[in-house]
Amino acid sequence: MTSLAPPARAGVCLSGKKARALVRLLILEYPRLVQPTLFASVQWTVSSLTRYVRDLLESDASLQDVWVEGEISNLSRPASGHVYFTLKDSGAALRCVLWKTSAARLGMNLQEGLAVAVHGKLGVYEVSGQYQLYADQIRPVGEGALYQEFLRLKAVLEAEGLFDGARKRPIPELPRRIGIITSGTGAALRDILNTLRRRSPLAEVIFAAAPVQGVEAPPALVAALAALDAQATDVILLARGGGSIEDLWAFNDERVVRAVVACGTPVICGVGHETDFTLCDFAADLRAATPTAAAELATRITREDLAAYVRDAGLRLATMLLNLLAAQRNLFAGLIAELRYASPERRVISERQRVDDYARRALAGLVHRVRLEAAQLKGLAQGLDALSPLAVLGRGYAVVTRKTDGRVVSRLALASAAMRVRVSDGEFDVRKS
Amino acid sequence: MPKSATPKPVKDLNYEQALAELEGILSALENDQKSLDESMKIFERGQALVARCNELLEAAELKVKKISGDALIPFEDDSS
């Protein structure tokens, strides 16, 4: 083994490409370079050479901290728990090893054909003489890049305190005006309206249509939030049905997230399904698993609750009236008793008696008087009788009248042929002889 | 509380207003000493408010409007 140090030992950092070139140079040319004569060539053993190459690679700091992008192939997971695969691109392949402990911390599923970026250090597996990448982190690229962006933005906004529980506002239990932001054509709107119609038909709904995916979605969602905020809504439902991470991406847009935070009205976010989380979910005052759940959370007090409350209020009112009336009746009964005692009625009764008495006495007087008069009249009649000429007839006298002219025959000269004689109890005719 | 001289006719009240006034009446009847006449008057008002609330609950139909530019226009969806 020579003591000659290759240039790479000098602590210079090489780019991966230069390092690779150097490795090739060393492996192929080094023996010739250091052994210029034909007969004095140094004999390497495979092991020593391989060890030498390994030392070379592993002493290059730039090769000990690399990210390599490629596609996974020849994925193998033996029982040991370590993971072996080859990272390929169109022009080359790189053997990779992921130790069991790193594999356990990976947090993603490795699949054949998956585009990934792998981090690790380059080394040589001496047994098979292969250089390879000892991986410690793997992240997806492509779709995975969106997820990385999600995590990055989430970390930034979280650090700003936008997701703090302390700034979340309570959702009104009985909102009068409910704002809805979603697509005018999706099932989310129908689900929300049906739920609101069933649970809280007293509410007024203001719908702001906005595209919920595509490049025009974020500015439209921001505008809709501002418009509903200006409509004095009590709560705003920001909703979208399920979809892929790209479909839901507008709800991870920084502008939309910040608009949710800035909105003066409490926002309930119901995007995707139970398992979907967007940054708007974190920023909203309340996260709902689905659009329907958002509508339910906005209507904690339902029509049935209200009806029960009104029913109860009516009963309380009626009970109060009954109590009130009972109290008044008692009061009234007391007053009546008092009033009756002080009443002029008793006086009226005695007065009436007195009047009756007077009347009776007046009547009695009258009767007495009439009787008196009657007696007097009788006496007068008797006196009158005594004076009557008719009374003389009773004593045997008679009255003789002429039949022709009725003159009383008080002298002979007045006597006529036919005369009438009146006695006390009748009369008869006589003839002059 | 219907302290004002001329309370709004109940038919002009929306649900929240009717309910709020009803609650005021209940607490007034429960806590305050009032003349019978006055109590009867506000009780009648309370009954009318209960009826109004029930009527509004029965008849309630979700009103949906849509923002169109700066205006609100009625919105008909086909889901009902």
pLDDT by position in tens, chain B (length 80): 444 557 788 888 888 888 889 888 888 887 767 777 888 888 888 889 999 988 888 888 888 999 988 888 888 765 44
Provide mean pLDDT across the span A384-390. 69
Segment A118-144 mean pLDDT: 88
For residue B68, the chain A residue with the least C-alpha distance is: A208
Contact list in A for residue B60 (CB cut-off 8 A) is 201-202, 303
- Test B29 with A204 for CB contact under 8 angstroms: no
SS3 content of chain A, % helix, strand, coil (to 5): 50, 20, 30
Phi/psi of residue A237, nearest 5 degrees: -100, 120
Q: Is A430 helix (H, G, I), strand (E, B) or coil?
A: strand
What is the reported pLDDT for A269?
Answer: 96
Q: Quick one: what percent of chain A has pLDDT higher than 70?
A: 89
Helix (H) or strand (E) segment spanning residue A140: strand A130-140
Query: Which chain A residues are Cβ-neighbours of B21 within 8 angstroms?
Result: none
Neighbouring residues of A324: CB distance < 8 A, sequence distance ≥ 6: B29, B36, B39, B43
Give pLDDT, residue A27: 67
If pLDDT is split at 50, 70 and 90, which confidence band does A225 have? Answer: very high
In this predicted model, what pLDDT tens digit does every residue of A353-375 receive, in sequence order? 888 888 888 888 888 888 888 88
**Whole-prediction pTM value?**
0.54
Give residue A25's pLDDT.
64
Contact across the interface for A306 and B77, Cβ inside 8 Å: no
CB within 8 Å: A313 and B77: no
Q: Are A283 and A311 in contact (CB under 8 A)?
A: no
What would the pLDDT profile of A263-314 be if each residue is shown by its tens digit? 999 999 999 887 778 999 999 999 999 999 999 999 999 999 999 999 998 8
Using a CB-CB cut-off of 8 Å, the residues of chain A touching B78 are 190
ipTM of the shown complex: 0.82
Task: Looking at mean pLDDT, say which of A88-92, A213-217, A265-269 comes out highest.
Answer: A265-269
In angstroms, the separation between the Cα of residue B68 and the nearest Cα of chain A is 8
Residues A177-211 have pLDDT tens digits of 999 999 998 899 999 999 999 999 989 999 999 99
What pLDDT score was predicted for residue A308? 92
- Predicted pLDDT at A38: 57
Task: Inspect the interface and report whether the beta carbons of B57 and A205 lie closer than 8 Å.
Answer: no
C-alpha to C-alpha distance for A179 and A291, rounded to whole angstroms: 13
Q: Hey, are the CB atoms on B26 and A320 less than 8 Å from each other?
A: yes
CB contact under 8 A, B53 and A207: no
Taking the C-alpha atoms of residue A153 and residue A135, their distance in angstroms, rounded to an integer, is: 26
**Residue A64 in tokens:** 């000990």
A313: its two tokens:
């209020």
Phi, psi angle pair for B9, to nearest 5°: -60, 140
User: Which residues of chain B neighbour A190 with C-beta distances below 8 Å?
Assistant: 77-79
Measured between beta carbons, the chain B residues lying within 8 angstroms of A193 are 62, 64, 77, 79-80
How much is the pLDDT for A428?
92
Q: Which residue of A has its CA nearest to B72?
A: A206
pLDDT band at A5 (very low <50, low <70, confident <90, very high): very low
| Per-residue confidence (pLDDT) for residue A6, from 0 to 100 | 45
Nearest alpha carbon to residue A50 among A124, A132, A133: A124
> Residue A82 has what pLDDT?
93
Residues of A in contact with B17 (CB under 8 A): none
Token pair, residue A182, equals 């979603």
Query: What rounded mean pLDDT belongs to chain A?
Result: 85
**Mean pLDDT of the region A117-135:** 93
What pLDDT is recorded for position B78?
59
* A62-71, A153-162, A337-346: least confident range: A337-346
The residues, any chain, with a CB within 8 Å of residue A235's CB and separated by 6 or more, are A171, A172, A175, A178, A179, A265, A266, A267, A268, A298
Residues of A in contact with B61 (CB under 8 A): 197, 201
Q: What is the pLDDT of residue A155?
A: 92
The residue in chain B having the minimum alpha-carbon distance to the alpha carbon of residue A196 is: B62
- Paired tokens of A98: 């992921």
**What's residue A360's pLDDT?**
87
Cα A368 from Cα A390, distance rounded (Å) = 33
* Interface with chain B: mutation pick from A191, A195, A207, highest number of B CBs within 10 Å: A207
A306–B62 C-beta distance less than 8 A: no
- Distance CA(A278)–CA(A406), nearest Å, equals 154
What are the Cα distances from residue A433, in Å, to A93, A160, A414, A415, B78?
A: 204, 176, 14, 11, 148
pLDDT tens column, A409-429: 888 888 888 899 988 888 899
> Which amino acid is residue A162, in one-letter code?
L
Q: Do B67 and A200 touch (CB under 8 A)?
A: no
The answer to whether B66 contacts A176, with C-beta atoms less than 8 Å apart, is no
Alpha-carbon distance of A354 to A207, in angstroms, equals 90
Q: Give the pLDDT confidence score for residue A14 in this predicted structure.
A: 59
Percent of chain A topping pLDDT 90: 43
Q: A20-68: per-residue pLDDT in tens?
A: 776 776 666 665 555 555 555 678 899 999 999 999 999 999 999 999 9
- Please name the amino acid found at residue A328: Q
- Chain-centroid distance of CA A219 in Å reads 30
